């Protein structure tokens, strides 16, 4: 009898294993991706830290789940009703009750510890970041200003100025995606605020977003964070807080340049473009740097949304998009 039950259990295990393997293989992920359990790879150390928290938390959850599943299978397979006799009763078993209270507590404590340390790492700030950027969200676009400390007044920042007195700022419009150009491998500080409603600063490759409040001080929100982009490239940025009609079109692009190239970019932004007789804007400065795809003068990860409905309809009718 027990032999029959055993072989049935084995068959069940084999079927379950096969089903699991088919599910795993049919997702078409690489082994590396599969072990991240759906979490993509980011481009900042903060993203990497959150990723390892996620991976280990999932492994812990799977281990606990496996133990529980095996215990259930063991019980239903080998402890079926054998006779009408009431089996030995084991309630009020104090050691057992202590064990199953302490074990979940330990699990929660361990998860809590690693979550808090990861969160502290993500929120950590250094006193002297290499670059400060003010990010202003508004319905429905973004402005990025390069800041500097006001001379003689620590902790007070002003917008850097070009040689012609214009502020070093990049503003998006319905025809231009604003480019937020930053250096790689340097600490960049973002000071985010809104001029109207709640927005959310979200760069998917950072695996991080933060709500953008109007009057952050009055709202008592921590509107400053720092990251280091470790990979050069173009990364799309989005508003992740439903903020009105054109919320979904409130996109920007982060362009991470190697430090030496970024220094040249920032220097160019302060200079006057002989063609326009105004200081170089973001696209003009990138075009001037001429470093290939990385210096594309317009966004490559997203495109502007024409808010003019008539123009849009005309283009659609002509077979465009
Ligand atoms: Cu928004």
Cα(96) to centroid(ligand 1), Å: 53
Cα(198) to centroid(ligand 1), Å: 7
Please give all residues whose CB falls under 5 A of ion ligand 1, grouped by chain where several chains appear: 199, 239, 243, 250
Cα(142) to centroid(ligand 1), Å: 9
The secondary structure of residue 167, as a DSSP letter, is: B
Mean pLDDT of the chain: 88
Whole-number Å distance between alpha carbons of 196 and 244:
11
Q: Which helix (H) or strand (E) holds 216?
A: none
Over residues 291-310, mean pLDDT? 84
Q: pLDDT for 232-272, tens place per residue? A: 999 999 999 999 989 999 999 999 999 999 999 999 999 98
Q: Quote the crossing angle between the two packed helices 2-26 and 45-78, to the nearest 10°.
A: 160
The pLDDT, as a whole number, for residue 178 is 94
Over residues 300-309, mean pLDDT? 79
Q: pLDDT for 66-75, tens place per residue? A: 999 999 999 9
Cα(107) to centroid(ligand 1), Å: 38
Over residues 297-308, mean pLDDT? 82
- The residue with greater pLDDT, 287 or 37, is 287
Lowest mean pLDDT, pick from 2-6, 68-72, 203-207, 263-267: 2-6
**What percent of the chain clears pLDDT 70, i.e. is strictly above it?**
93
Cα(180) to centroid(ligand 1), Å: 16
Q: pLDDT for 114-140, tens place per residue? A: 999 999 999 999 999 999 999 999 998
Q: Is the distance from CB of 225 to CB of 150 less than 8 angstroms?
A: no
Q: Is the distance from CB of 145 to CB of 137 less than 8 angstroms?
A: no
Q: Is the distance from CB of 250 to CB of 238 less than 8 angstroms?
A: yes
Q: pLDDT for 91-104, tens place per residue? A: 888 998 999 899 99
The pLDDT, as a whole number, for residue 5 is 61
Strands 199-203 and 233-239, sheet pairing: antiparallel
Over residues 2-7, mean pLDDT? 62
Q: Which helix (H) or strand (E) holds 296?
A: none
What does the angle CA 179 – CA 182 – CA 184 come to, to the nearest 5 degrees?
A: 135
């Amino acid at each position: 009898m027990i032999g029959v039950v055993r072989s049935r259990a084995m068959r069940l295990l084999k079927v379950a294993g096969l089903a699991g393997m088919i599910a795993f293989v049919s997702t078409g992920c690489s082994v590396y991706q599969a072990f991240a359990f759906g979490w993509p790879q980011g481009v900042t150390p903060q993203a990497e830290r959150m990723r390892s928290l996620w991976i280990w938390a999932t492994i812990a959850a799977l281990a606990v789940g496996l133990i529980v599943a095996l215990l259930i299978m063991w019980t239903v397979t080998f402890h079926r009703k054998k006779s009408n006799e009431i089996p030995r009763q084991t309630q009020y078993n104090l050691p057992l009750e202590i064990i199953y209270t302490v074990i979940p507590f330990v699990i929660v404590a361990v998860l809590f510890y690693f979550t808090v340390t990861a969160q502290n790492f993500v929120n950590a700030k250094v006193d002297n970041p290499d670059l400060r950027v003010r990010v202003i969200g508004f319905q429905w676009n973004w402005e990025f200003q390069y800041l500097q400390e006001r001379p003689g007044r620590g902790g007070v920042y002003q917008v850097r100025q070009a040689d012609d007195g214009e502020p070093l700022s990049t503003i998006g419009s319905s025809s231009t995606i604003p480019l937020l150009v930053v250096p790689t491998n340097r600490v960049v500080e973002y000071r985010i605020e809104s001029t109207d409603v709640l927005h959310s600063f979200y760069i998917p490759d950072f695996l991080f977003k933060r709500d953008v409040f109007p009057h952050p001080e009055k709202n008592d929100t921590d509107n400053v964070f720092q990251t280091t982009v470790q990979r050069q490239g173009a990364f799309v940025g989005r508003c992740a807080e439903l903020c009105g009609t054109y919320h979904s079109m409130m996109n920007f692009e982060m362009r991470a340049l190697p430090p030496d190239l970024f220094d040249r970019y920032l220097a160019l932004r302060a200079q006057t473009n002989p063609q326009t007789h105004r200081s170089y804007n973001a696209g003009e400065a990138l075009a001037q740097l001429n470093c290939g795809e990385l210096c594309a003068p317009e966004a490559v990860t997203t495109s502007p949304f024409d808010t003019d409905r008539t123009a849009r309809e005309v283009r659609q009718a002509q077979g465009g998009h």
